[in-house]
Amino acid sequence: MRIFFLYFNVVILLLCSIRQGDALVRRYKFKLQDASYSRLCSNKTILTINGQFPGPTIYARKGDLVIVDVYNRANHNITIHWHGVKMPRYPWADGPEYVTQCPITPGTGFRQNVVLSDEEGTLWWHAHSEWSRATVYGALVILPKKTDQYPFPKPHAEVPILLGDWWKSDVQEVMEEFLLTGGDPNVSDAFLINGQPGDLYPCSRQDTFKLKVEYGKTYLVRLINAVMNNIMFFKIANHNITVVGSDASYTKPINSDYITISPGQTIDFLLHANQKPSHYYMASRVYASAGFYDNTTTTGIIEYVGNYNTPPTPLLPTFFQFNDTSASVNFTRQLRSLANKKYPVDVPLNVTNILFFTLSINTRSCPNDSCAGPNGDRFLASVNNVTLVLPKTDILQAYYNRISGIYETDFPDNPPFPYNYTQQFVPQLLWTPENGTDVNVLEYDSVVELVFQGTNTVSGVDHPMHLHGYSFYVVGSGLGNFNKSTDPLNYNLVDPPLMETIAVPINGWTAIRFRANNPGVWFMHCHFERHVSWGMGMTFIVKDGKGPNEKMLPPPPDMPKC
């Protein structure tokens, strides 16, 4: 035990000593526990951190080390992921179950070093095992270094706003049921703003998030989409907002009267309280390009302080159609990096690895057409026609300890067979994927261009793709099939946004670039929970480099065991 502790401290010291300047170590305690919450007229027991829903907000400054002691006091396995934190050379505490770790079982704990580096702005943390992130999530606010400032006028106050959803039934049961039947999961019963549905639902008048503002002041809102299965539109009645950041990276200011936000993504914006003092709704509802969805609207209220006649009901913003793809992509396409002297871009130009990944919904037949998907088949999903099957021992451990038989290294750089990906009817012959636990191996420092191609197999839909361990530049996107001779001519290599989650439009494509300079095992997946459950994910192994600072750090002593 003593040796373990010594070793452990050495690792912490190591981690601390490679950090410079005014970086601090901050500590948090996360207790996974059941708690009872009442929403929409009924009580429910949910998994929480420290009994809070949404969970506690972590505050840090750029470059800090955050040490979170996670204890499992519930009766459900858990892992916690720090969404958007690159964890340089330290995938051990990244969190995805069976990719970088085995679950933290009831009665045990795991001390997780959350290694911040160049992230600045808003990120979040969430459970990364089965569907437990439905209630286990919270904000991660990364302020500039003490000696530094925002690249915009200092706001009067800051407020995190987390979009979430609520099922009246137990989320674990929702998950088990759809995996058993092979059909679509039940849609949620409500969306939430900071854990509360707002007053457009039955029995929810009390459960409304309220934000008090003073006329003439500006507020920094840190918007996080923690919804399980939907891209969301967000609007505030009568108010335009100024977007200043996304995914913990600053953007050129964008004035807009709405926001589109993918699950996983964060948007920082300035709210100028410059309207007639009154009450105004902020509201959010789904952008859905296909399929079933919860068509309800969640609201919160912005209340100006002062004396005025309170309206009987606040003004509600008007929304687009649920399936308005142009409204959705037009917002996202405006995002640009600051790309100035203080916040330069570093878009990799000399690409060494060109990857082309198709994203598909698939089906597989069931005995006697007994499943609840199309034609009695089971829904699946894939990347390059490989449906991810998670192993029983995590991939990181297998890689580090050279355990064979856990994964294969043949995840393809290109789809196994080309076809017209976005044609109106993809022949049914092409609907069935292969199962696999396949990784794509990248040499240290390779320069990757990855084009995601959404397909119309079974049914086209948007896919918010998320990469662990990295941010990437989104250099291009379009509708239809990617054309490799003409589309790259229109790439933005000047000021593309730096993101870690990007929605690939329905039957369209998105091109990203990153330099593989973070050795480790990094999950990449669709952030729609139903899609990743159906297998839309894959793993990169980025090899160690030659230099002393180009190798993975050793694991902590208390890694959960399988």
Q: Which residues bind Cu ion (CB under 5 A)?
A: 463, 526, 528, 531
d(CA 154, CA 205): 34
Minimum Å gap between C-beta 361 and Cu ion is 8
Quickly count: other Cβ atoms within 10 Å of residue 218's Cβ. Answer: 17
Q: Which does 526 bind (CB under 5 to 8 A by kind): Cu ion, ligand C2O, none?
A: Cu ion
Q: Which does 528 bind (CB under 5 to 8 A by kind): ligand C2O, Cu ion, none?
A: Cu ion
Q: Which of 39, 62, 128, 235 binds ligand C2O (CB under 6 A)?
A: 128
Minimum Å gap between C-beta 504 and Cu ion is 8
Minimum Å gap between C-beta 538 and ligand C2O is 12
Count of residues of this chain found to bind ligand C2O when the rule CB under 6 A is applied: 11
Q: Which does 531 bind (CB under 5 to 8 A by kind): ligand C2O, Cu ion, none?
A: Cu ion
Closer to ligand C2O at the Cβ: 125 or 201? Answer: 125
Nearest to 411, CA basis, from 380, 459, 450, 362: 450
Q: Which does 164 bind (CB under 5 to 8 A by kind): Cu ion, ligand C2O, none?
A: none
Kindly write out the interface string for residues 77-96 of this chain, putting x where it contacts ligand C2O by CB under 6 A and - elsewhere: ----x-x------------x
Minimum Å gap between C-beta 439 and ligand C2O is 15
515 binds ligand C2O (CB under 6 A): no
Minimum Å gap between C-beta 91 and ligand C2O is 12
Would you say 207 and 197 are in contact if contact means Cβ atoms under 8 Å apart?
yes
The sheet carrying 80-83 orders its strands as 58-61, 137-143, 121-127, 80-83
Cβ neighbours of residue 329 closer than 8 Å, sequence gap 6 or more:
260, 477, 503, 505, 508
Which residues ranging from 198 to 237 are in contact with ligand C2O (CB under 6 A)? none
d(CA 56, CA 32): 12
- Choose the binding region for ligand C2O from 36-44, 239-247, 409-417, 523-531 (rule: CB under 6 A): 523-531
Would you say 445 and 399 are in contact if contact means Cβ atoms under 8 Å apart?
no
Kindly write out the interface string for residues 444-483 of this chain, putting x where it contacts ligand C2O by CB under 6 A and - elsewhere: ----------------------x-x---------------
CB-nearest residue to ligand C2O: 83
Which residues pair with residue 221 across a beta bridge? 159, 269
Q: How far is CA 435 from the centre of its chain?
A: 24
The dihedrals phi and psi of 169, each to the nearest 5 degrees, come to: -85, 170
Burial class (CB in 10 A: 0-12, 13-18, 19+), 325: middle
Helix ranges (DSSP H) in 107-190: 171-181
Which residues ranging from 95 to 124 are in contact with ligand C2O (CB under 6 A)? 96
3 state SS for 333-373: HCCCECCCCCCCCCCCCCCCEEEEEEEEEEEECCHHHCCCC
Buried b (16+ CB within 10 A) or exposed e, 67-98: bbebbbebebbbbbbbbbbbbbbbbbbbbbbb
Which residues ranging from 359 to 418 are in contact with ligand C2O (CB under 6 A)? none
Closer to ligand C2O at the Cβ: 227 or 448? Answer: 227
d(CA 174, CA 186): 6
d(CA 350, CA 371): 47
Minimum Å gap between C-beta 540 and ligand C2O is 13
Minimum Å gap between C-beta 82 and Cu ion is 22
Would you say 521 and 92 are in contact if contact means Cβ atoms under 8 Å apart?
no
Place of tokens 């990437």: 472
Q: Which does 463 bind (CB under 5 to 8 A by kind): ligand C2O, Cu ion, none?
A: Cu ion
Burial class (CB in 10 A: 0-12, 13-18, 19+), 402: exposed
What is the identity of the amino acid at 483? N
- Choose the binding region for ligand C2O from 48-56, 405-413, 432-440, 520-528 (rule: CB under 6 A): 520-528
d(CA 81, CA 72): 15
Q: Which does 128 bind (CB under 5 to 8 A by kind): ligand C2O, Cu ion, none?
A: ligand C2O
- Choose the binding region for ligand C2O from 210-218, 314-322, 522-530, 548-556 (rule: CB under 6 A): 522-530
Closer to Cu ion at the Cβ: 509 or 528? Answer: 528
Q: Which of 523, 528, 534, 540 binds ligand C2O (CB under 6 A)?
A: 523
Closer to Cu ion at the Cβ: 513 or 531? Answer: 531
Q: Which does 525 bind (CB under 5 to 8 A by kind): Cu ion, ligand C2O, none?
A: ligand C2O
Closer to Cu ion at the Cβ: 86 or 531? Answer: 531
Which SS3 state, helix, strand or coil, does residue 525 take?
A: strand
Binding site residues, ligand C2O, CB under 6 A? 81, 83, 96, 126, 128, 264, 466, 468, 523, 525, 527
